[in-house]
Amino acid sequence: MLILGGTSEGRQLAQLLAADASYRTLLSYAGRTENVVRPDTPHRIGGFGGSAGLASFLREQQFDALVDTTHPFAARISANAVVAAAQTGIPLVRLVRPGWQAVPGDRWTEVLTMEAAADALGDTPRRVFLTVGRLEIAAFARAPQHDYLVRAVDVFDTGLPRARVIAARGPFALHDERKLLEHERIELLVSKNAGSSATYPKLEAARALGVGVIMVQRPLLPSAPEVETLPQVVAFLRALHGASSTKRGV
């Protein structure tokens, strides 16, 4: 099976299935991050060339299943996966981690796009912590008056006149997140609703310090079979494997 990666769940799934001789997996990374954490299991780095390229790859390599464990905001590859699965007839399952929900004490402003997040910062210059990923930073060029602290896996040129980048990879601890917000005198935090436990402590720290959060909601994805946990993915694959064995008369 081909696992479309980009999250810790994809890596965990590949490692989990590596112990079962019934499965042979290939974990694929888009390659947008320079310092990819390479797994011990078979993997590749790079795109496919759209849905048509992905469909060709699935056919040529004779995959029996496609598992989408990409980031909730990787809308393009998830859409390509749906099209490629339909074109090839290969079963697809999408692992979707539950989104974060505001709790008492949170000061969230929920928006639908990065541009809306930039506008929600307001006209008055603020000290803003951006945790939205390198590819989304350009949207904040419309609000150059703010002082931005940008956290990303790799250091890069933001193109923003008043921005500083710190390179770090989760998981992050609550104590460290609170210390960072206090030291940097952060007034607003901008985040995607990733739903990851590894990065949730920043929201806990913001809640404790009374820092407002601009929360960008997830994009809508084409319909596909979805599960929320790794055991559910494994159950889906076992059922699929059992069905294919029965067809072969095993």
Burial class of residue 168 (count of CB atoms within 10 Å of its CB; 0-12, 13-18, 19+): exposed
Rounded to two decimals, the pTM is 0.87
Are the CB atoms for 224 and 68 separated by under 8 Å?
yes
Domain boundaries, the chain: 2-97+220-247, 108-216
For 232-244, write each residue's pLDDT tens digit: 999 999 998 775 5
For 52-64, write each residue's pLDDT tens digit: 999 999 999 999 9
The reported pLDDT for the residue numbered 34 is 59
The reported pLDDT for the residue numbered 116 is 98
Neighbour count for residue 104 (Cβ, 10 Å): 5
Both tokens assigned to 111: 């928006």
pLDDT averaged per 10 residues, the chain (length 250)? 92 91 91 68 92 97 96 94 97 95 98 97 98 94 98 93 94 97 98 95 98 97 94 92 49
Tell me, yes or no, if the two domains 2-97+220-247 and 108-216 fold the same way. Answer: yes
For residue 129, is it left (φ>0), alpha (ψ between -120 and 50) or beta?
Answer: beta
The reported pLDDT for the residue numbered 244 is 54
The reported pLDDT for the residue numbered 124 is 97
> To which CATH superfamily is domain 108-216 assigned?
NAD(P)-binding Rossmann-like Domain (3.40.50.720)
Question: Which CATH number among 3.40.50.720, 2.60.120.260, 3.30.70.520, 3.90.950.10 corresponds to the domain 2-97+220-247?
Answer: 3.40.50.720
The reported pLDDT for the residue numbered 240 is 86
DSSP string, the chain: -EEE-SSHHHHHHHHHHHT-TT---EEEE---SSS----SS-EEES--SHHHHHHHHHHHTT-S-EEE---TT-HHHHHHHHHHHHHHT--EEEE-PPPP---TT--EEEESSHHHHHHHT-SS--EEEEES-GGGGGGGGG-TTSEEEEEESS------TTEEEEE--S---HHHHHHHHHHTT--EEEEE----TTTTHHHHHHHHHT-EEEEEPPPP-----EESSHHHHHHHHHHHHHHHHHHTT-
